[in-house]
A and B are shown apart, each in its own frame.
Chain A
């Protein structure tokens, strides 16, 4: 409870004092982006998607087997000792064993490429279904590897979130129906976590860095998502303005401005613009080719203005999202700088060694900020995964992804993805310190811990256009705070 009288003595509710306020200096940002998800330039789309699954299984299987062996080795159930089995096809009926493979969810509501092909539908439209999950129990879980697949049954699946594409080890026996009766399930769990400042240290060995880890206390990193600059909806224009003034440190009083000066970087996690709704008008005049009048540049212009106002004061990392002008399949490649005629002077030239002041990056994106390993996405991976499960617990799904060591398990099945051949970048080779996902329905955060002392801060960043919230992360402790703007 604050009353008017209490705030009367605030410094700004006085006559102009004439004191010269010295300019605040913003904390520097220590930043090393990784290019894990950058696609090369001469990529082909001719190949099949199967390689992704193969690569993923090959990469994660050893870790899963290690976990499975540690917990199931020597397990005796009903007088029978459990044995490891190499391939799904080698499972013998009645034998207690464990086997590792890729989970495949067979769901009637899930789009199925085979069905499309058999019905001669060659152009697949984005699905409009909210949930693939169906209440009636028509869904079934399979485990497969390169040898074959087996249907999994058992009550244990009520306890776990499972989606197509995650790698799991299952313990149990094959019953007389040819189904695998599962007693227990194990996942790879959190990947090894790099030390803080690992990348900065590596760089230091190469070059003498000028911006070595500084003892700058109280630094913060701002994460915002879903700014959704729109050509038609202006209902939150004022909030966006206040956000800008807040981040610039023009609003509020000198004390608060001093704190705001510690925000060293802004991360924009997707959906910065919304395509304007198509006003479909049949025009009498026939136009050939691309009708440029159907394109409304206003959203990206407004966003450009926003960026170019903010950039002189603060470096920005920009991830694309589902509604941004980037490719739609995962991993989304950076939004082209040409979209930002004003802000683009802050971007780096292509192939530059140094990241740009405005760093337009991929989605998902990985990098080191203030020494911590960040992994972030624009939200599509979680949104797609949420369709597989009954609940809407985004943090739980984020945790599951970390424990599966896969940041986009449902790619390429239901999450469109590039058909990788040689590498599967969605596998988390290293566990991030902070995992954020943009454009979520609401804010949430939690720390999860791994068996080897790993700790991951999960943040689901709400969409600014819906909640008017941004997230501030403390650069030392990774503690999170929120700022809500209400008008």
Chain B
């Protein structure tokens, strides 16, 4: 029962953190009302021990006295022009006021109230809160701890809730961290950090693979891997996808990246869903996938900072690690197809642009090696892609990428998916990357 005392003492007194009831409720998985009482109890016991040790803010709800809100209602507007038979006076309407006040102002605020229907501790912190807007960051943190789906604990539930039933519908990723509002403007890199929690996991493997210490030296392979990662999951909608992603990931990182780092939170949740349903083509997914690989690309840039800046609890980190492992399993699936086609592709190194041609259209899903060879007839391929989607020819790059993935995983998945340890995956990916078509494209650009 007193575990919360310990947690709060640790966080508030030692780490100087501010705790809102919501954050506490979600950290401890208790009902918000219980969390409010916990905060109150903590505040009381600490201040009994040492006055001024912790500072609280209160949320007060009730009716204020009439003279406090003189400007309520626009009853005094001069109405020379209104229709004569109806005086234009707004009714006097009761106002319930929700106030968030620091404890030192609580007494004054309460004095303004006629009646208080509800009051509770909103937050406790080591220092008096000067700017309430700072609590918004904590609130955002609380949101990020919320459950992936359904109502958060303690909020009013609605049994009538309807969701769209659609194959491949993007489910909000668990632990999606909405961006703290205040961080939005100034530093794009730091901003992407909390937001990219989920997406980061996607890219993390590449860090581990390429090594913790000397990441700079291996910048190049990493980015190729990342770009590959970015491309593989887009299986279904790949044909519709604009071609830019490869180039972006490989060469033109900085400029465009920054633009999209703002959008980081959007892509990050599309990604997992796309990865989990690689084989379900769905009508209106194309737009999201365009975003999704952008999100991946982002990760190359702000990653180091993202990890450094992570102010996560141990629990979170563990959770993340666990998820990462799962993610890696998935990655493996995605890597597998890379390796398979690579021997064939190698001779094509000089002209990466032609590669896309080698694949079969969506109709011949079961085509194996032989099928691919047949697909090398470039002209045929172009035509068909245009017929289906009406997109530019370059799209074929994507079409080939994802298609091979579609094909291969069923065969390899059973073997490797669940059992392979992370290290093995890393190795495999490492090996695959330079050989794979992505590497070819990089070299193409390098020559230029």
CA distance A357 to B184 in the complex (A): 30
- Are A2 and B116 in contact (CB-based, < 8 A)? yes
Min distance, Cβ B379 to any Cβ of chain A, angstroms:
28
Please provide the chain B residues from 366 to 415 with a CB less than 8 Å away from any CB of chain A in the complex: none
- Least CB distance from B4 to A in Å reads 8
Whether A481 and B95, one on each chain, are in contact in the complex, defined by CB atoms closer than 8 angstroms, is yes
Report yes or no: A396 in contact with B82, Cβ–Cβ below 8 A. Answer: yes
Are A487 and B77 within 8 A (Cβ)? no
When distances are taken between beta carbons in the complex, the residues of chain A under 8 Å from B37 are 12-17
Q: Which of A248, A292, A346 contacts B256 (CB 8 A)?
A: A292
CA of A487 to CA of B60, assembled, Å: 10
Q: Are B22 and A245 closer than 8 Å at their CB atoms?
A: yes
Chain A interfacial residues counted at CB < 8 A: 109
B151 near A253: Cβ-Cβ < 8 Å: no
Known contacts being A237-B181, A313-B157, is A345 close to B41, with CB within 8 Å?
no
B81–chain A nearest beta-carbon distance, Å: 5
Query: CB distance A24 to B157 under 8 Å?
Result: yes
Counting CB contacts under 8 A, is A348 at the interface? Answer: yes
Do residues A25 and B95 form an inter-chain contact, with CB atoms below 8 A? no
Is the CB–CB distance between B82 and A341 below 8 Å?
no
B417 at the interface (CB under 8 A from A): no
Q: Is the CB of B154 within 8 A of A160?
A: no
Q: How far is the CA of A314 from the CA of B156 in the complex (A)?
A: 8
Distance in Å: Cβ of B58 to nearest Cβ of chain A: 9
Q: Chain B contacts of A315 at CB under 8 A?
A: 158, 160-161
A 269-295 contacts with B by CB, 8 A: 285, 292-295
Question: With A443-B74, A444-B90 in contact, is A250–B154 under 8 Å at CB?
Answer: yes
> Does B115 belong to the interface (CB within 8 Å)?
yes
Contact of B81 among A7, A357, A396, A403 (CB under 8 A): A396
Cα A236 to Cα B182 in complex, Å, equals 11
Contact of B184 (CB < 8 Å), options: A28, A231, A293: A231
Q: Which of B85-118 contact A (CB under 8 A)?
A: 86, 88-91, 93-100, 106-107, 110-111, 113-118
Q: Which of A241, A341, A391, A443 contacts B269 (CB 8 A)?
A: A341
In angstroms, Cα B143 to Cα A255, docked, is 24
State A32–B276 Cα separation when bound (angstroms).
36
Known: A255-B118, A357-B161. A237 touches B81 (CB 8 A): no
* Partner-binding segment picked from A97-105, A168-176, A303-311: A303-311
> Contact at A302–B266, with CB atoms within 8 Å?
no
Using a CB-CB cutoff of 8 Å, which residues 262-297 of chain B contact chain A? 262-263, 265-266, 269-270, 284, 287-288, 291
Smallest Cβ distance from A317 to chain B, in angstroms? Answer: 14
With an 8 A cutoff between CB atoms, is A23 at the interface? yes
Assess whether B119 is in contact with A12, with CB atoms less than 8 Å apart. Answer: yes
Distance A403 CA – B88 CA, assembled complex (angstroms): 14
**How far apart are A71's CB and chain B's nearest CB, in angstroms?**
13
A314-333 residues at the B interface, CB under 8 angstroms: 314-315
Picked from A6, A390, A486, the residue with its CB within 8 Å of the CB of B98 is A486
Q: Which of A123-131, A139-147, A256-264, A369-377 contacts B (4 or more CB under 8 A)?
A: A256-264
Q: Which residues of B have CB within 8 Å of A301?
A: 178-179, 263, 265-266
User: Are the C-beta atoms of B98 and A12 separated by less than 8 Å?
Assistant: no
Contact at B120–A298, with CB atoms within 8 Å?
A: no
Say whether, besides A301-B266, A485-B98, A403 and B156 are in contact (CB < 8 Å): no
Contact with B along A350-394 (1 / 0, CB 8 A): 000010110000000000000000000000000000000111111
Which residues of chain B from 106 to 152 have any CB-CB distance to chain A below 8 Å in the complex? Answer: 106-107, 110-111, 113-122, 132-133, 135-136, 139-140, 143, 146, 149-152
Is B65 in the interface zone, CB < 8 Å from A?
A: yes
The residue of chain B having its C-beta at the shortest distance from the C-beta of A354 within the complex is: B162
Q: How far is the CA of A400 from the CA of B81 in the complex (A)?
A: 11
- Map CB proximity to B onto A438-468 as digits: 1 under 8 Å, 0 otherwise: 0000111111100000000000000000000
Q: Smallest distance from the beta carbon of A337 to chain B beta carbons, Å?
A: 9
Q: Is A297 an interface residue (CB 8 A)?
A: yes
Chain B residue nearest to A398 in the complex (CB): B88
Query: Which residues of A have CB within 8 Å of B38?
Result: 16
Among residues of B, the one whose C-beta sits closest to the C-beta of A296 is B262
Q: Which of B8-16, B166-174, B350-358, B426-434 contacts A (4 or more CB under 8 A)?
A: B166-174
Whether B78 is near chain A, meaning CB under 8 Å from some CB there, is yes
> In the complex, are the beta carbons of B33 and A12 less than 8 A apart?
yes
CB of B178 within 8 A of CB of A242, answer: no
Q: Which of A2, A391, A442, A483 contacts B80 (CB 8 A)?
A: A391
**Cross-interface CB contact of A293 among B61, B169, B258, B291, cutoff 8 Å:** B258
In the bound assembly, the distance between CA atoms of A240 and B169 in angstroms comes to: 28
Q: Are A23 and B160 in contact (CB under 8 A)?
A: no
Q: Does B213 contact A (CB under 8 A)?
A: no
A15 to B33, CA, bound (A): 11
If the complex has contacts A13-B40, A308-B172, are A25 and B119 also in contact, measured as CB distance less than 8 A? no
The verdict on A295 contacting B259 (CB below 8 Å), with A16-B34, A24-B157, A484-B98 known, is yes
Q: When the two chains form their complex, are residues B156 and A249 in contact, meaning their CB atoms are under 8 A apart? A: yes
Question: Do the beta carbons of B118 and A10 come within 8 Å of each other?
Answer: yes
Contact residues in A for B419 (Cβ distance below 8 Å):
none
Q: Which B residue's beta carbon lies closest to that of A441?
A: B74
Q: Give the residues from 172 to 231 in chain A that come closer than 8 angstroms, CB to CB, to chain B.
A: 211, 231
Contact in complex: B95, A302 (CB < 8 Å)? no
* B50: A residues at CB distance < 8 A: none
Contact of A256 among B25, B111, B118, B122 (CB under 8 A): B118
Q: Does A18 contact B (CB under 8 A)?
A: yes
Contact of B91 among A241, A313, A344, A445 (CB under 8 A): A445
Contact (Cβ within 8 A) B259 A313: no
Give which listed residue, A6, A21, A292, A391, contacts B116 with CB less than 8 A.
A6
Which residues of A sit under 8 angstroms from B106, Cβ to Cβ?
4
Q: Are A24 and B121 in contact (CB under 8 A)?
A: no
Partner of A18, one of B1, B171, B176: B1
Residues of B bordering A, CB below 8 Å = 1, 4, 22, 25, 31-34, 36-38, 40-41, 59, 61-62, 65, 69, 71-74, 77-84, 86, 88-91, 93-100, 106-107, 110-111, 113-122, 132-133, 135-136, 139-140, 143, 146, 149-152, 154-164, 166, 169-172, 176, 178-179, 181-182, 184-185, 255-256, 258-260, 262-263, 265-266, 269-270, 284, 287-288, 291
Instruction: Contacts A16-B37, A241-B136, A241-B139 known; list 18 others, CB within 8 Å.
Output: A2-B116, A16-B4, A161-B82, A231-B184, A234-B133, A237-B182, A256-B118, A298-B262, A308-B172, A309-B143, A312-B149, A342-B172, A391-B77, A391-B79, A393-B74, A393-B82, A396-B81, A396-B82
Q: Which residues of A come within 8 Å of B, CB atoms?
A: 1-4, 6-7, 10, 12-18, 20-21, 23-26, 28-29, 158-161, 211, 231-232, 234-238, 240-242, 245-246, 248-257, 260-261, 285, 292-298, 301-302, 304-305, 308-309, 311-315, 338, 341-342, 344-349, 354, 356-357, 389-396, 399-400, 403, 442-448, 469, 480-487
User: 14 A-B pairs, CB-CB below 8 angstroms?
Assistant: A6-B116, A10-B119, A13-B37, A23-B156, A28-B159, A158-B80, A234-B181, A250-B154, A251-B32, A292-B259, A311-B161, A312-B149, A486-B97, A487-B100
